[in-house]
Amino acid sequence: MSKKKTFEYPADLTAAQQALDAARAARHAFLASAPRWTEPQADIMSKDGTAMAGGEGWSEEQVEDNRRLLEAETEAARTVWAHPYWQELQGTDRVDAQTQLQHLDDQVDQAA
């Protein structure tokens, strides 16, 4: 069985990935707690007879919170994606390194 190649990441890149993970988690938590509908919606009856409750939609504050969280997530993703470290790697090494970076916290948790 071959041993998986490991990569040494610059500290600012790992910090950027952690910021991206945190931004995604914050937006996920917001969306889980927000109303289902972004705009007012009447009750809906599907073709199979299943009823889905409508709702009042998001408040202006929720719309702004979502915009802010999405912007933070997008900027964090851009920071990771555009990092100069990726230019040092070619082909499958780049893909493998990007995949491993996304799971870096998982590896740290397993080592503990």
Query: Do residues 70 and 49 share a domain?
Result: yes
Query: Do residues 27 and 72 share a domain?
Result: yes
Three-state secondary structure along 15-66?
HHHHHHHHHHHHHHHHHHHCCCCCCCECCEECCCCCEECCECCCCHHHHHHH
Answer yes or no: is pLDDT of 83 > 60: yes
Query: Do residues 27 and 56 share a domain?
Result: yes
How many domains does one find in the chain?
A: 2
Query: 89-104 pLDDT, tens per residue?
Result: 999 999 999 999 999 8
Query: Do residues 70 and 86 share a domain?
Result: no
Answer yes or no: is pLDDT of 2 > 60: no
- CB atoms < 10 A from the CB of 30, how many? 15
Query: 46-67 pLDDT, tens per residue?
Result: 899 899 888 999 999 999 999 9
| 88: containing domain | 82-112
Say what the pLDDT of residue 72 is.
98
pTM above 0.85, yes or no: no
* Residue length of the chain: 112
